[in-house]
Amino acid sequence: MKLFQDLDEWRRWRSQLSEPLGFVPTMGALHAGHLSLVDRSLRENERTAVSIFVNPTQFDDPSDLAAYPQPLQQDLEMLQGVDFVIAPPAAQMYPHGYRYRVSESQLSKILCGAHRPGHFDGMLTVVLKLLQLVAPTRAYFGEKDFQQLELIRGMVEEFFLPLEVVGCPIVRESDGLALSSRNTRLSPEERALAPQLARLLQTSRPPEAIADGLMRAGFEVDYVQHWRGRLLAAVRLGPVRLIDNVALETL
């Protein structure tokens, strides 16, 4: 594995590569969900690159950014078989600050976008930057962030980027909780309650009834809604925001 923390060095190295390259963009604090994306990339490509970059522009809550874990050395030890890790400083990713950005005017304003103003602008901006830098054959994203995945697919199509966006299934804990780096911030009591989100989503009840059940259980509910063949939900437990979704065809 070769670690790049300087983007000029990465660009020089990338210009010499010709074989199919898979790419997994992450914000670090890696878990089995991230590693499932990495494993798929390793199977489907000659080389695999992973980025580790905690993107400041997609955090609508500064305290959430400050609390986001950044265990770089631990993450590197988990990336067995990966060829390249790109972990640049924010100053290189945003050399002009946040003057230039990507904005989407419709899908980014609903669901999570309605509750996290500016989040998807930051996400799309950094993903476009990373795709331009890495120039992958395929890029891998988890279906847990389903709205994010759909926005990235739309951006890649709209800007004629020559790559395949691959959506990968949600990876869950044994009790059903969707894996997320934020799960580590749940208190023991919140962690015990959190799997109720997945359980209620899988009950085939109407969204309004599921939202009511979540509130009765102690969640603060942002939304529970059908969208593009999925039942999606976003909730809060204390300071931690959790999202999840299930395919309607499986209910």
Which residue do the tokens 């990507």 mark? Answer: 102
Amino acid at position 141, single letter: F
Nearest to 82 by CA among 12, 193, 4, 144: 4
Q: Are 128 and 155 in contact (CB under 8 A)?
A: yes
Which residue do the tokens 């044994």 mark? Answer: 174
Residue 151 CA to residue 228 CA, distance in Å, equals: 12
Q: Are 171 and 196 in contact (CB under 8 A)?
A: no
The beta strands (E) that lie in 82-219 are given as 84-86, 95-98, 138-142, 164-168
Which residue do the tokens 């476009």 mark? Answer: 128
Which residue do the tokens 């120039």 mark? Answer: 135
Our answer to whether residue 119 is catalytic in this structure is no
Cα torsion 63, 142, 154, 45: sign: positive
- Annotated catalytic residue: which of 31, 34, 96, 115? 34
Residue 219 CA to residue 214 CA, distance in Å, equals: 5
Catalytic residues: 34
